[in-house]
Structure 1
């Protein structure tokens, strides 16, 4: 069975983009920039979606740049618009796309590249898929920046008695075994970091939480629906409790009273 890299819709990616950009680790981006060679560079982005990471990262890196954007969903790549994206010297970046499934990623996929990136991807991979990505990075001996992987920790204010049960069910859903695929979920960064560390590579991690408040009501509402919906899908016995919980939380969003911290991590790896 092949597995698509793409994990989200174009409207959802557009809605979350501002929060993603605020959360991303500028420190790890700067460290990646320092690791890249001078002159033309080729970078591969996995699970590229609509190109959000390229738009944010390209201006922070030297060039000229050529980006190879990989995604398992040809339809979502139709939403790419990177015509205004430039490198740190204001030069336009070149882009090509590859429709590719991680189950088919060959060990030599990144040969000739200067770096590899991905965003909001690791937690929906299986261990076997993560091992394929690691193997390709080890083969090419290039630095890689993996951004915005969920850690499973969510803090909501004001607190609610059902927060813990919903959060635990959501995390179980993230680790579910579906059609023979058991996703890494909240353990993704730890697993990936261990795979690279065991290979003798440098590993640097940075917390990159979303901090959502009243101005983020649209994103918070969509995130909340998805968070609770996944919890109920995993534990149907929570349906009645979750419906009441969601009503309370939607009221908090409407009143501008809900604050949410959704914890993520970025991780940068590079060879010794």
Structure 2
């Protein structure tokens, strides 16, 4: 697999955001997922031997999706954790849960690689593909290829925490909208020849999966950050404003002063932030379930 051309994330940032990610993910998507899995023909295997759910976690980072999801799914599970960074893979593999929701075993293996070249053949026998905070880092072609691979293999995809392009800061500041617009433009930038989707990723993914006959459900999954999450808020602010400044250098020195004000409010416990994301579940094949 190709292992170049994607951003790498510091473990500290991934650990800081894990609790907010867990609180934001949309648990209501688990019921239709479990219904779909239960409705499938039993897998071929030795008589009387239950087959593990095979779950492939793309861009797993430190493994937060596995830690959140494995304990919410019943039945024995085998997770395959993919990432570009071997240090993150070591971290993720070592911290996976060992039991599922019903006490059956969970195990995991790691694989260094990129989802860009995954095909339906690679996903043969897969029960579920997952990813968290990944879709917005992809190009339109990569989203199309991911949908093709998942639907072609007949496996559902649970793709969580894609940026929605909206943030709400309280109290408000006159520069909020300009910083947000610049950040969204940065998310849509061309990076090493790759035109990233940023906040357009969810719409692109819905179209890609539905075009291939999948039923797609989307639900909001916003971070709600208050004084208890001040460390995460401060780190997010630095990255958010930094990306906006990188996209529009003419924002300096206003962006520098803005960041200083916001960090002071954060340190004083006076700032709350809603960072909007969207979770998506794609179920192969026709269904009467509404995606609304």
* Counterparts of 1:248 and 1:83, CA distance in 2: 39
Give the SS at the match of 1:146. Answer: strand
* Counterparts of 2:98 and 2:184, CA distance in 1: 35
Give the SS at the match of 1:49. Answer: coil
Specify the alignment match of 2:200 in structure 1: 187
* Counterparts of 2:146 and 2:220, CA distance in 1: 22
* Counterparts of 1:169 and 1:211, CA distance in 2: 22
Q: How far off its partner does 1:248 sit?
A: 0.7
Backbone CA RMSD of aligned residues: 1.5
Normalised to the residue count of structure 2, the TM-score between the two structures is 0.89
Q: Contact between 1:33 and 1:60, CA under 8 Å: does it hold in 2?
A: no
Give the SS at the match of 2:168. Answer: strand
> Does residue 35 of structure 2 align to residue 22 of structure 1?
no
Specify the alignment match of 2:53 in structure 1: 41
Give the SS at the match of 2:265. Answer: helix
> 4+ residue runs of structure 1 moved beyond 6 angstroms?
none
Match of 1:265 among 242, 256, 278: 278
| Aligned 1:28-177 pairs, distance under 5 A | 28-37=29-38, 39=50, 40-80=52-92, 81-177=94-190
**Greater mean deviation of Cα atoms: 127-136 or 155-164:** 127-136
* Counterparts of 2:8 and 2:139, CA distance in 1: 13
- Provide Cα deviations, 1:55-114, integer angstroms capped at 9, x if missing partner: 100111122100111112222112123354421112331111111123332332211011
Specify the alignment match of 1:8 in structure 2: 9
Alignment CA distance shift 1:107-1:6 (3 Å): farther
Q: How far off its partner does 1:6 sit?
A: 6.0
- Provide Cα deviations, 1:141-179, integer angstroms capped at 9, x if missing partner: 111100000001000010000001100000000000011
Q: Contact between 1:43 and 1:65, CA under 8 Å: does it hold in 2?
A: yes
Q: How far off its partner does 1:14 sit?
A: 0.5
**Greater mean deviation of Cα atoms: 79-88 or 2-11:** 2-11
Unaligned runs of at least 5 residues, structure 2: 43-49, 287-292
Specify the alignment match of 2:214 in structure 1: 201
Q: Contact between 2:55 and 2:128, CA under 8 Å: does it hold in 1?
A: yes
* Counterparts of 1:94 and 1:193, CA distance in 2: 31
Unaligned runs of at least 5 residues, structure 1: none
* Counterparts of 1:85 and 1:99, CA distance in 2: 22
Specify the alignment match of 2:46 in structure 1: none
Larger radius of gyration: 2
Normalised to the residue count of structure 1, the TM-score between the two structures is 0.96
Q: How far off its partner does 1:7 sit?
A: 4.1
* Counterparts of 1:139 and 1:99, CA distance in 2: 23
Give the SS at the match of 2:242. Answer: helix
Q: Contact between 2:227 and 2:270, CA under 8 Å: does it hold in 1?
A: yes
* Counterparts of 1:99 and 1:258, CA distance in 2: 39
- Kindly tell me the number of residue pairs found equivalent between the two proteins: 272
